[in-house]
Structure 1
Amino acid sequence: MCLTKCLKNVYTWNAIVSGCVKGGNLEDAQNLFVKMPERNSVSWNTMISALVRSGLDKKALSLYCRMNSEGFESTHFTFASVLSACGNLLFVEHGRCCHGLVIKVGIDCNKYVENAVVGMYAKCGCMGEAVRAFDRMSQPNEVSFTSMIGGLAQTDHVDEALRIGEGGEQRGSYENFEFPSYRYGQQVHGLAGKFGFEGDIHVGNSLIDMYAKHGNMKTAEMVFANLPEVNVCSWNVLIAGYGQEGQSDKALELLQRMQSHGFEPDEVTYVSMLGACVKSGDIETGREMFDRIESPIVSAWNAILSGYSQKGQHEEAVDFFRNMQFQNVRPDRTTLASILSSCAGMGILKIGKQVHAASTKEALHLDIFVASGLVDMYSKCGTLETATCIFERMPERDIVCWNSMIAGLASHSLSSEALALFKQMRGGGMVPTQFSYASILSSCSTLASLCHGRQIHAQVVKDGYTSDVFVGSALIDMYSKCGDVDRARLFFDGMHEKNVVSWNEMIHGYAQNGCGDKAVEIFEDMIRLGEKPDGITFIAVLTACSHSGLVDVGMKILDSMEQEHMVQPSAEHYTCVLDLLGRAGHFRQAEVLIGKMPCKDDPILWEVLLSGCRLHNNVNLGRRAAEQLFRLDPHNPAPYLLLANMYSSLGRWDDSSAIRTLMCDKGVIKNPGYSLIENQSEGCSG
């Protein structure tokens, strides 16, 4: 049955048309719009605004005329789109007629319409009418200020541009005001100098802010230095600029200069300072600045909270959030998203549930930003069912939500479900990011599905992510785990930029596929090219040595870790080397190594050694290894089975039976096993 026969009512039609528009499929949206058996104002508004956003302004106006002729009532959304189209086309007379209709139907005070009216007149160069419309606005915002400054700067109305800029500060929109572009800001700066307004404190502050926001701190400092007088706001915008650049030392130096000149820092100063400290990673100094604020606003709390979360100081983040609640400061979406990130990082479900309850209390649990955090938190805390429930109930989803859900499924080895969800996401018009591709390639790796992996690779190429190091590393991993290590190497060699993760994946890929010599060769290339190996690098190359029997090479690499690369060997590294020695039957070296290891009580080390003993039927050392495991990991069936099988292979049936009896007496149960293979006969669909 075709799609059009399945859609039951106008609301369903509207939802599908809107989905096509959001996904960038304008042609499909237009075709569906034409086929709609009935339409309402929402239907028309969706198509008109989509055409305007796509630059098809004439088509939008034509559709608007059809809407009127068919008797549909225009809403503020309609007028906002139509006025924008008139401005883009410079159809000022059409725009004036539309403005008249707006006044007639009584929605001229709607903020979207007000902004559209100002923007239309400004684009058409009718600055007198733009200024009058702007002056009638009850609450101008950054959109209206941006339109006005842009239009005035382009038409050389410097006096009005400066008045608007000053008005932005006086009317409370200064914080959000910014010039429509850096170039326009420079034009206003030139005009201010030409007409002698450069020394005006309000103009100067606006210019400092503009240069600072674009990272040009040298010019911002110059404007500041040339002002005949400055105020606290002047210092604040300069401090905030250095904060944005993450230069906390310069921001701190400015704070000291500010105080030495007799200016008393206010709350904005300290908020800017703590933002600078957090961005540069100096959370401790940021916390000092926070403690100086008498009554911190929620953005100040958020800055410290996000700083703790980003640095992985999750316990401090939780304590800070609890203190925030104790002080009766209401959290906003940023607060909740930050603390949820820390809950996910800690993997503590109890605290995550408390934050969920707080978000519900504040009616923010369905906010797209917060809901994404909840999905991520529940996924990482092992409660995938709740994560799925939240995801499915979200009224709208952005790419972050989809990524969180796909990553959650992938991390729980629900790879087929992750692939299905990825396909659903793409079918809805959502464009994947590098994080989407990394997660879904991980699922292909888990399934060892080369068919799906190649399809995803083709989409990566189409979406332009082949040069992304994150995605590239995931592709190397996918091809390696699917057994196509030559394709993995081909992609690796073609990467324009590599990082330690890329090198690690290629070394590990060779290790997985039994190509020890090539893994060591890549490792040596990595060292020669100056890339610093990390602990994971050594696990990969030592694993390769183990699987290929490269005993001397492996021992040499182990010795080089601390001596040449300043990497402390961990239990995992020793496990790899014990596996290497055990496979090769070098048990005397293995015993010497165990004697030197600082982590003798790690059961995995003894299990690996026992496996090597089983391979070579070294009963004496095998029994000692098994006895260590009986003590360290009493419920693990592996040592009982390995030792029993070793005895059986040597014909020592009584000893084998005794071990199995001991296993039963202690209530140790063998875990059932299973295998997973891709059904090649079924193929795979896009």
Structure 2
Amino acid sequence: MLVSLIFKRTYRPNVNTIQWNKTIQNHQSNGNYQQALKLFQLGIEKNTFQPNSVTYLTILDICKELKSLPTVRKIHHLIDESKNLNNDDIQNNPRIRSLLMDVYIKCQDIDSAYKIFQSMNERNLIDYCAIMTGFNHQKQYEKTFELSKQIPASIKYSSPVLCTLILQACIELNKYDDGYKIHQYGKKFLPNNKIFMNELLNFYLKFHQEKQALDIFDKYQNQQTIIDYSLLMKYYNRQYQPDKTIELCYRLKNHSHIQIDHIIYVLVLQAIANGCCLHTSEQIYNQIKKSQTHMDINNALINMYGKLGNLDQAEKIFNSMSKHNIVSYNILLNLYGLYYQSDKALKTYHQMCQHGHQPDDKTYVLLLHTLSQTPNKINDVKRIFSTIEEHKRGPMVTAAMIAALIRAQLFDEVNDLLKKLPKENILFYAMKANSNETNEKFHYPISITNEQLALYDLLMSNIYTYAGLHDRLTNVDEILYENKILKDRLSYSWFERSNGKIEYFKSEQLQLKTCEHTEKLALINALDEQKNSSSPILIGKNHRTCTECHDYFKKVSLSSSQKKVYLRDSTRFHIFSNGTCSCEISS
């Protein structure tokens, strides 16, 4: 309607324009955006005033706040049609074009924004920053990277914001050399620009250049922020280096100008859980009790206590929370899987649904895994899987269902599901690589997530348990071990010494054909180090434990009846006491 009205008009100076602009701006300054927009529309309809560049700049600012795409498009048409009125003040105003592009970006219409950008005769730093921000928010990093090649060097390296945006694209596109070049030209922005410094840390950590990241972190100690610490701690948690995360937390305590927030506490609690740090857990918990409670912290505490062998305390924290989210339930389901508590897992799932929480892929994976550990729960497994719409069954959920059916020896149903499993899924290759029909080796994704490793462990464990081949390493194992990082992830064991230091035991074998028994080495050293202590011993391992090591732990628990011995491997939590294991009781 606005467009059709303006077609009938011819441009003429209007003394009312100044007054109308002031009135619209007054509404804007008071936050009455809808009133300002209605006034603008009324003026157009009644032919009361002729909008000028000030009018459109004000209205576009209002559209940024309202984020109404239909309104923006109407205003855009009015601006474009102003050329028919010979109004160069509007049509050739670069500020209007830039602001219009920015409004489209705010409305997440990046295509319209880019068309305006391409139509500009001249582009300034703000224009480049705006369009690249839009591309990055829409995860169109290729466009940011390609556009960066067209920017004159005088503009490209003149702004820390622009350098940060290009660096983000280099991270996502694995362009290390280009990102390194941005660092060299952007050194002049350090340490004053904190956002650029944060992104540089993120860049080097993404490419596993820990030394370069630490050089930046340590060089500018007085300018460090909470974000710098969180980036490093996240990196160390992903790299299975919980001791370094804990060390950073203690170091952060000595920073008087940095306040520890809930994100830092969550990261350090995750590290304590992963590192099996029984001694450190109480020290950190005493600090947390003095701070304000937060749902994320409570969730991390549930995870920590459960993975340290104190499931009762984990449940106590869960039950004390006034509110839960999907993460709370998934953490508890994961713990019930580790402890083989299928009845509690099923009860928690029903409770979650009753409270209106929608299960996600992780919920179903954890639930199917936990229930499948109890033979008489296979019908519950199939019932729950059937409630998931077929198009919503991701590969991880389907793989968990396959593992459950293998455990129940329902191989015909396995074959039916295998036909639907995407070939790029690692678990599909795991099954194919170990079948009798082929000896072919397959290509695997470069990046394998922890969940994929855990599910692969589960699937292979079920296959070999059924076949009676408990200690055999699969063809897939051998392929994974060719990657040094993955070999370390799968092979080492560890425990926390009484001084809070984590001691690791890694396999030195180049080719692994049987279990490397690192958990046995860890237990021998833990017993010697804590021989005068009554504290429990907790050993962590990233792979399945073998029968030989499992029997050794049982013997130790029989001879050390006064000391609790725990083993947490990749699929479950073993509690040894008086020569028996909890997995034998609950199986």
Same fold (TM over 0.5): yes
Within the candidate set 401, 417, 428, 1:577 is matched to 401
- 1:253 to 2:92 alignment: no
Distance 2:223 2:534 in 1: 34
Distance 1:308 1:461 in 2: 42
Q: Which residue of 2 aligns with 1:502?
A: 328
Structure with the higher fraction of residues in helix conformation: 1
1:390 deviation in Å?
0.9
Pairs within 5 Å for 1:81-480: 200=19, 203-204=22-23, 206-211=25-30, 214=31, 216-221=32-37, 224=40, 230-260=51-81, 262=85, 263-264=90-91, 266-324=93-151, 328-360=155-187, 363-364=189-190, 367-394=193-220, 395-429=222-256, 430-450=258-278, 452-453=280-281, 455-457=283-285, 459-460=287-288, 462-467=290-295, 470-480=296-306
> SS state of the match for residue 400, structure 1?
helix
Q: Determine which structure has greater relative contact order: mean sequence separation of CA pairs < 8 Å that are 6+ residues apart, divided by chain length.
A: 2
Within the candidate set 461, 466, 491, 1:611 is matched to 461
TM-score by length of 2: 0.65
Mark the CA change 1:384 to 1:629 in structure 2 (over 3 Å): closer, same or farther: closer
Indicate conservation of the 8 Å contact 2:17/2:49, yes or no.
Answer: no
Within the candidate set 304, 311, 315, 1:489 is matched to 315
Mark the CA change 1:497 to 1:267 in structure 2 (over 3 Å): closer, same or farther: farther
> SS state of the match for residue 340, structure 2?
coil
1:396 deviation in Å?
0.9
Structure with the higher fraction of residues in strand conformation: 2
Distance 2:515 2:381 in 1: 33
Q: Which residue of 1 aligns with 2:541?
A: none
Distance 2:398 2:227 in 1: 39
> SS state of the match for residue 265, structure 2?
helix
Distance 2:23 2:214 in 1: 52
1:393 deviation in Å?
1.0
| The 10-residue stretch of structure 1 (575-584 or 231-240) with the greater mean CA deviation from structure 2 | 575-584
1:375 deviation in Å?
0.8
> SS state of the match for residue 324, structure 1?
coil
> SS state of the match for residue 223, structure 2?
coil
Distance 2:467 2:515 in 1: 24
Q: Which residue of 2 aligns with 1:674?
A: 518
Indicate conservation of the 8 Å contact 2:272/2:304, yes or no.
Answer: yes
Q: What is the root-mean-square deviation in Å for CA atoms of aligned residues? A: 4.0
Q: Which residue of 2 aligns with 1:40?
A: none
Indicate conservation of the 8 Å contact 1:259/1:265, yes or no.
Answer: no
> SS state of the match for residue 296, structure 1?
coil
Mark the CA change 1:384 to 1:203 in structure 2 (over 3 Å): closer, same or farther: same
1:372 deviation in Å?
0.9
Indicate conservation of the 8 Å contact 1:274/1:289, yes or no.
Answer: yes
TM-score by length of 1: 0.57
Consecutive unaligned residues of structure 1, counting only runs of 5 or more, are: 1-196, 638-663
Mark the CA change 1:493 to 1:335 in structure 2 (over 3 Å): closer, same or farther: farther
Indicate conservation of the 8 Å contact 1:243/1:273, yes or no.
Answer: no
Distance 1:288 1:595 in 2: 44
> SS state of the match for residue 240, structure 2?
coil
1:495 deviation in Å?
4.2
- Corresponding pairs, count: 448
Distance 1:383 1:350 in 2: 13
1:208 deviation in Å?
4.9
Mark the CA change 1:424 to 1:364 in structure 2 (over 3 Å): closer, same or farther: closer
Distance 1:268 1:452 in 2: 57
Indicate conservation of the 8 Å contact 1:476/1:505, yes or no.
Answer: yes
Mark the CA change 1:609 to 1:568 in structure 2 (over 3 Å): closer, same or farther: closer
Pairs within 5 Å for 1:620-639: 629=476
CA-to-aligned-CA distance 1:223-259 (integer Å, 9 cap, x gap):
6567966431232132123224433332232232344
> SS state of the match for residue 561, structure 1?
coil
Distance 1:330 1:584 in 2: 61
| Amino acid across the alignment from 1:221 | L
1:428 deviation in Å?
1.0
1:365 deviation in Å?
6.7
Mark the CA change 1:444 to 1:516 in structure 2 (over 3 Å): closer, same or farther: same
Indicate conservation of the 8 Å contact 1:340/1:355, yes or no.
Answer: yes
CA-to-aligned-CA distance 1:577-627 (integer Å, 9 cap, x gap):
3433444455555455445544387333456555334323368xx99x96x
Consecutive unaligned residues of structure 2, counting only runs of 5 or more, are: 1-15, 435-455, 485-508, 536-587
1:405 deviation in Å?
2.2
Larger CA Rg, structure 1 vs 2 = 1
1:272 deviation in Å?
2.4
1:392 deviation in Å?
0.6
| The 10-residue stretch of structure 1 (226-235 or 423-432) with the greater mean CA deviation from structure 2 | 226-235
Q: Which residue of 1 aligns with 2:392?
A: 567
> SS state of the match for residue 150, structure 2?
helix
Indicate conservation of the 8 Å contact 1:209/1:241, yes or no.
Answer: yes
Mark the CA change 1:347 to 1:433 in structure 2 (over 3 Å): closer, same or farther: farther
> SS state of the match for residue 123, structure 2?
coil
Mark the CA change 1:296 to 1:440 in structure 2 (over 3 Å): closer, same or farther: farther
Distance 1:255 1:630 in 2: 59
